[in-house]
Structure 1
């Protein structure tokens, strides 16, 4: 997997991360569908897992700040 272009914060860092994860995510979705899970339930499960991970990480102010700056970053 490709890493960030720089170690510090930069404007497109989140986009670069998304691009780095994209192929892995597509492969994971493909494997879940091949195992018999539907695409909608696979996506719903992934969203749920991400939300639950976020809830666990909320105590981390650095991670919360990064997520707040991300795509669609206004979490209510």
Structure 2
């Protein structure tokens, strides 16, 4: 079995969809972290960097969503 393969969700309405997403990504996530440690980064640096990257990704998605909404309002004028 390929630990890095990320499987699609089983349904859009599963009550544990968020947990299923985490489980689907766990192998690839762990692989990235282990590669970084193997390259010489310490585990705390790796964990902190992964948290920051996830945070920046979320902030970028929020900014893009807000920009899309603002542009939509401007186009209606």
TM-score (norm: length of structure 2): 0.71
Which among 7, 29, 37 is matched to residue 2 of structure 1?
7
Query: How big is each residue's C-alpha offset from its partner over 1:42-70, in whole Å with a ceiling of 9 and x where there is no partner?
Result: 01001001101111111438xxxxxxxxx
Which consecutive aligned stretches of 4+ in structure 1 deviate over 3 angstroms post-superposition? none
2:18 pairs with 1:39: no
Q: Which residue of 2 aligns with 1:29?
A: 33
Q: Which runs of 5+ in 1 are unaligned?
A: 62-76
Q: How big is the alpha-carbon RMSD for the aligned residues of Structure 1 and Structure 2? A: 1.4
TM-score (norm: length of structure 1): 0.72
Q: Which residue of 2 aligns with 1:12?
A: 16
**CA displacement at 1:2 relative to structure 2:** 1.3
The whole-number CA distance in structure 2 between the counterparts of 1:48 and 1:32 is 15
Higher radius of gyration, 1 or 2? 2
